[in-house]
Structure 1
Amino acid sequence: MDTLLINILDPKATKLLKDLEEMELISIQNPGESGFASVLKKLRSNSDSTPTLEEITAEVESERTKRYAG
């Protein structure tokens, strides 16, 4: 199986791709729906509050300090 990144220049091409997907010749995935972003979205939906970028950065720096202190 090959994976390609395609920039669609003409909206008519989207219909062609959807037709190919319906014929089960290709599978279409939205980049936002797969990978790391998808995992983050799922985890954040289970949380009461989402940490800010500053909170995440502070936690990462804290862990790095612990790891490399010894």
Structure 2
Amino acid sequence: MMTYQVEILNPKADRLLKDLADMDLIALKQTSTDPFLQVVERLRAKAADNPPSLDEITQEVEAVRSERYARNKA
């Protein structure tokens, strides 16, 4: 048995798949919505609107490194 994940773009395709399932040629199973994947998608959508610049990323990395260094020094 082969498994495919299909993203349906046209409602006619949905009807075709249901017809094939009615003829017992295929089996349809809806995927469950994973809360983790919902969070990932939301974060990706936010990042697409306003992606951080290389300078902002560098500043954040340096801040975390210096904080970690200070904790390990103490």
TM-score range, shorter-chain basis?
A: 0.3 to 0.5
Q: Scaled by the length of structure 1, what TM-score is found?
A: 0.45
Q: Which has the larger radius of gyration?
A: 2
Structure with the bigger RCO (C-alpha within 8 Å, sep 6+) is 2
